[in-house]
Structure 1
């Protein structure tokens, strides 16, 4: 089973906070977000876990990290890669399925995930 594509994918995105991080990077007008912005949105995540998940998602190609060392302090921003953006399309389809078959959520029905404030 360890070679199964589905198992490998779930292993990446099934870790606690990974999906939430991807969603936060997707939301809003700005495509780049700094560590502290993500930490503020994901209030219950510890800095250590957030840092670890960001590193893992970067290694897996879902996100990219951009450093701006032209000034002090160095600015580090995270954004979705093309692969990460495409993955969010899959999440949108999961949302549609959930709304159709499992959950009643009028706010979610009428909201684009990019504009979601939840």
Structure 2
């Protein structure tokens, strides 16, 4: 099973917080977000877990970390890669499936994930 594409993909995105991090990086007008901004949006995630997931998602090519060392303190910002942006469609399909088969959420049915405030 370890060579199965689905197995490999689920191993990456099936970790707690991974999908939520990708979705938070997608949301809003600002395409780049700093660690504390993500931590503020994902209030229940621990700093250690967030840091670990960001590193994993970067290693897997879903996100990129941009470091601006021209200022003090140094700024690190995270953004989706092209592959990460493409994966958002998978997350939106999961959302559509959930709305169709499992969950009633009128507010979610009428909102674009990029504009979502939930």
- The TM tier, using the shorter chain, reads over 0.9
Aligned ranges 1:36-115 → 2 under 5 Å:
36-115=36-115
TM-score normalised by structure 2 residue count: 0.97
Check if 1:16 corresponds to 2:16.
Answer: yes
In 1, Cα distance between equivalents of 2:96 and 2:7: 23
Q: What SS class does the counterpart of residue 66 from structure 1 fall into?
A: strand
Gaps of 5+ in 2: none
Name the residue aligned to 1:7: 7
* Number of residues of Structure 1 aligned to a counterpart in Structure 2: 118
In 2, Cα distance between equivalents of 1:52 and 1:101: 32
TM-score normalised by structure 1 residue count: 0.97
Gaps of 5+ in 1: none
Moved more, 101-110 or 60-69: 101-110
In 2, Cα distance between equivalents of 1:115 and 1:46: 25
Superposed CA RMSD in Å reads 0.7
